[in-house]
Chains A and B, each alone.
Chain A
Amino acid sequence: MSLGLSASEPRSRSVDSGAPGRAWEQLIEARLRDSQAQEAAWAQALRQEARSEWKGWPSRKQEGWRFLSVRTLAETAFAEARVDEAEAQALVQAFESSFPGEGEYRIYLVGDRLCFGEGLPEGVALCALSSLTQRDEAEPTFSSPSDSLARLNTLLFREGLSLQVEAGREVALPIHLVQLAALSAKPLVFSPRVRLRLGRGTKLRFIETHWTLGANDENADSATGTRLSLTQLRNGVTQIEVGENACLEHFAQVRAAEGEGVFISTQVEQAGQSLYRAAHLVLGAAPARLDVQVRLRGEEAECEVAGLCAAKGQRSSHAHLYVEHIAPRCRSALRFRGIASERATCTFDGITRVWPAASKSEASQESHNLLLSEQATIHSKPHLEIETDEVSCSHGSTVGSLDEEQLFYLASRGIEADRARAILTWAFAQAPLSSASWLPFFPKIAQEAASFLGHEGEESA
């Protein structure tokens, strides 16, 4: 299928080297003018607030940005991504040919176009963010040490999704939001925004896919030793409220193409006795950064956030987690695994903060990492900030290579070295994914992740 765009097209960057960052300021100003002319009062107010808080792109000196330089992004002149109807249709068709979408309700967000069909489960209200009239339905309530890019999203987002589940509803059908893009020839920025609210006593399974067509051609960048030029930026924000006694299972995956930067910020707020269980799959970009913030505001709320961050070639995957125990008797568990091969970088930066009032908190962080090459880099930094007594907290972090004894065991049974390495790498990768086995297309996701990691087996290990 030809979309008139090709990943192999030569790219040029128009960088105004005389005034780095000037292009971003122009983009923001243009968007604010648009907003004043067209948008509802709440959106205008929201953007004005973000404008006063936006201090420009973060530098490596800032907490939470030590492991990732965004200078190239800051100095690149990006244009806002707009997609026409035909292009959106073509992308949706291309995606559906590999993921037919059975066993789920699917919503597409392509550039600034939102499309969805019949069959929305009962008790679920869905609308475009731009159609909201009340400010309190879309207002962000978060502020974290590293949310510069979330602010940029607030300044720039053009369209998004608002999804609400009414109290007491247990939604059987998973809801899948697919955010699609094709790799463009000139630098484009996407700023998708998602608002998800689960009422009291609800249950929902929510899937988010950030997919760029051509994402499977990741071999192109592994061979070149040069620094990647950025051609596309996805800067998404997903805000989630989990009501009292509600349960949300969340799976989010990022499949980016070469030369694409991906920043996804997920902000979760939990009421009493709610459960949030998430699994993230990030297979690298240039760079891919995941920010997950969870605020446990109600007593006995519980969250489990698992993730697999893998990267190869020149790519990188960064996971930054920030969990706040605000109310007493909450539980949180972060379980991440990182795999870096070739010249790639993976980061785990986890902070769990237990507030003074949050007595009897239980918090754990685990970060296990696999280094598959001497040129690869792993940063693993679990961190607990505890401001009260009577808590049970633990954290663990490991970085290692493949186990020689295991490799020999496989070899001693006749399995060749490359295959043995792939089998063990895939075995290491599976733990964080296992919590997403409810996915309607889990075998396909697992197979693609396995294949990314070099495991070409005909079935899951």
Chain B
Amino acid sequence: MLLEIESLRVAVEGKQVLQGVNLQVGLGEVHAIMGPNGSGKSTLAKVLAGRPGYEVLEGSVRFAGEDLLALAPEERARAGVFLGFQYPVEIPGVSNLYFLRAALNAQRKARDLPPLDAFEFMKLAREKSKLVELSEELMKRPVNDGFSGGEKKRNEIFQMALLEPRLALLDETDSGLDIDALRVVSSGVNALRSPERSMVLITHYQRLLQYIVPDRVHVFVGGRIVRSGDASLAAELESEGYATYEGKASAALAGAAL
């Protein structure tokens, strides 16, 4: 198993958001986590990437056998964890290419690889940018500064292509995309599927999963996974919605509270 999450309970500002998450992702697998807004699915992604401000109350996360929660965010990235942000952060004054070269070389250093010089990096960046049809102008602009919603998401996948993570957590990568952008982003993600790389797609809608067919689908409601199945589960959710699960989840929570 590449990723093993066991009974993970997490609180934000004193409020428990993850209520005992169990999830196992094997190497090369693509999992989709689907759930309504506010179910805690984005929290799961952020906790895995190491965002400050979350309190782990209980449970464990092992990544390639290592205790992931003991690592600083940059160490997790160097170990091969990548978070595709739901809202990619704008950093005026820092060029995309500078940022990515710093990131890639930091990761290469951690793996005892020599740094890429500007020329080598540029060659690699040009090649990877084709995957998501990212123009050279966007590559050179300040990080996400003035990018449209679609451009930001393409930039996330471009970063993933460059950094070649072992585990990609893609948090609502489909949100805010029109149909053309969704097609570009999805084909980029599909091109990065590999037996050496696992992915967790976090999404509200089934739409993305028409382009990226997952190996496993998990229904995430009330801070935990309430049902798992194969790709056909996504279609079922699309027609029936989350309402039935939400009823069950709150009933279960009420039971737990008693």
Q: Which residues of A are at the interface with B, using a C-beta cutoff of 8 A? A: 403-406, 408-417, 419-420, 423-424, 426-431, 457, 459-461
Contact = CB atoms under 8 A, between A and B. Distances in A.
B51 A408 contact: yes
Interface string B183-213: 0000000000000000000000000000000
Contact of A409 (B76, B89, B92, B163): B89
A427 B95 CA distance: 9
Given A406-B91, A427-B92, A431-B93, A414 B77 contact: yes
B87 to A, nearest CB: 9
A417 B74 contact: yes
Nearest to B74: A411
B107 interface: yes
Interface SS of A by simple majority: helix
Interface stretch (B33-41, B98-106, B222-230): B98-106
Contacts of B99: 410, 413, 415, 423, 461
- Listed residue (A412, A426, A427) with the most chain B CB atoms within 10 angstroms of its CB: A412
A403 B51 CA distance: 13
A461 B94 CA distance: 5
Interface of B: 49-52, 72-74, 76-78, 82-83, 85, 88-89, 91-95, 98-100, 102-104, 106-107, 110, 118, 142-143, 159, 163
A421 to B, nearest CB: 12
A426 B74 contact: no
Contact of A459 (B78, B98, B142): B98
B77 to A, nearest CB: 4
The 9 closest A-B pairs by CB, nearest first: A427-B93, A414-B77, A413-B103, A411-B73, A409-B89, A414-B107, A414-B106, A427-B94, A411-B74
A403 B159 CA distance: 21
Contacts of B163: 413-414
Given A405-B89, A406-B91, A430-B93, A414 B98 contact: no
29 contacts: A405-B89, A408-B89, A409-B91, A411-B50, A411-B72, A412-B49, A412-B50, A412-B51, A412-B74, A412-B83, A413-B106, A413-B159, A413-B163, A414-B74, A414-B107, A414-B110, A414-B163, A415-B74, A417-B72, A419-B102, A424-B91, A426-B93, A427-B92, A427-B93, A427-B142, A431-B93, A460-B98, A461-B93, A461-B98
A417 B159 CA distance: 19
Given A412-B77, A414-B110, A461-B98, A427 B91 contact: yes
A428 B91 CA distance: 9
B73 A408 contact: yes
A412 B50 CA distance: 8
Contacts of B94: 423-424, 427, 461
A415 B89 contact: no
Contacts of B142: 427
A427 B90 CA distance: 12
B77 A423 contact: no
Contacts, number: 85
Contacts of A413: 77, 99-100, 103, 106, 159, 163
A415 B84 CA distance: 16
A419 B106 contact: yes
Contacts of B91: 406, 409-410, 424, 427
Given A411-B77, A416-B74, A427-B93, 13 more contacts: A408-B51, A408-B73, A409-B85, A411-B73, A411-B74, A413-B99, A413-B159, A414-B163, A415-B102, A419-B106, A426-B93, A428-B93, A459-B98
A459 to B, nearest CB: 7
Contacts of A409: 85, 88-89, 91, 143
A448 to B, nearest CB: 17
B95 A461 contact: yes
A419 B94 CA distance: 13
Contact of B52 (A403, A404, A410, A461): A404
A419 B102 CA distance: 9
A279 to B, nearest CB: 16
B61 to A, nearest CB: 16
A370 B110 CA distance: 31
B103 A406 contact: no
Query: Most chain-A CB neighbours within 10 Å: which of B50, B52, B83, B94?
Result: B94
Contacts of A406: 89, 91
A459 B118 contact: yes
A203 to B, nearest CB: 29
A408 B93 contact: no
Contacts of A411: 50, 72-74, 77
B98 A457 contact: yes
A415 B91 CA distance: 14
A404 B159 CA distance: 20
Of A404, A411, A419, A427, most buried by chain B (CB within 10 Å of CB) is A411
B52 to A, nearest CB: 7
A426 B92 CA distance: 11
Nearest to A408: B51
